[in-house]
Amino acid sequence: MNKETIRPTKKQKELLVFIDAFIKEHGYSPSYREIMKALDYNSVATVSLHVSSLEKRGHIQKRGRSARSIEVVNNDLTDISPIKSNEIKPKEEKWLIEKVDYFFVELEGSSLVKQTKLDELYVLIGALKVLGLEGASQAFIPRLTELKKKVKK
């Protein structure tokens, strides 16, 4: 393999494991439709996207354009470590929420709010969502709506 292998995403690893198991059981690779049904994807295009990505990353190879031609390059899938989820400790979560709350209190105390400050709040609330703190981000939405009314244009 002349390409440098990049660690697969969680979905891609799931696909790799499925393809490898299918080949071991049947002696040939699965079709895109079989992959779609087994992994509960919505379309064959999604399968194609993941297969192409895995091929670019060097985890699989295809023999030309022939059907059922997917081969797993690295058969030892235990070496592929999954990507860790965004886990934050309760102490860090509390700190972040307090920072966002402090930012809100500061802005709610002023008579006019600049658009840039409101944009910063949107980013902070988006960060809460990305970190998996959906409840916290939803709790700040009503306050954000009230602040929008005070925006200095």
Q: Check if the beta carbon of residue 99 is closer than 8 Å to that of residue 61.
A: no
Q: What confidence tier does 83 reach under pLDDT thresholds 50, 70, 90? A: very low
pLDDT tens for each residue of 15-31: 888 988 898 888 888 99
Q: What is the residue-averaged pLDDT of the chain?
A: 81
What pLDDT is stored for residue 144 in this prediction? 87
* Bigger pLDDT: 5 vs 63: 63
CATH number at residue 29: 1.10.10.10
- Quick one: 56 and 96 in the same domain? no
Any domain includes 57: yes
SS3 call for 113: strand
* Bigger pLDDT: 69 vs 97: 97
- Quick one: 104 and 60 in the same domain? no
What pLDDT is stored for residue 137 in this prediction? 85
What percentage of the chain reaches a pLDDT higher than 90?
6
| Domains in the chain, number | 2
Any domain includes 148: yes
- Quick one: 75 and 14 in the same domain? yes
Kindly report the backbone phi and psi dihedral angles of residue 132, in degrees, each rounded to the nearest multiple of 5, phi listed first: 90, 15
Q: Dump strand ranges (E) for 9-84.
A: 60-62, 70-72
Between CA 30 and CA 37, with CA 32 as vertex, the angle to 5 degrees is 90
- Quick one: 110 and 133 in the same domain? yes
Among 31, 57, 79, residue at a domain's last position: 79
Between CA 83 and CA 87, with CA 16 as vertex, the angle to 5 degrees is 15
pLDDT tens for each residue of 96-135: 889 889 988 988 888 777 888 888 888 888 888 887 788 8
- Quick one: 57 and 100 in the same domain? no
* Domain of residue 73, residue span: 10-79
pLDDT beyond 80 at 43 = yes
What pLDDT is stored for residue 33 in this prediction? 92
Residue whose structure tokens are 């244009």? 153
- Tokens for 134, please give them: 């959906």
* Bigger pLDDT: 99 vs 68: 99
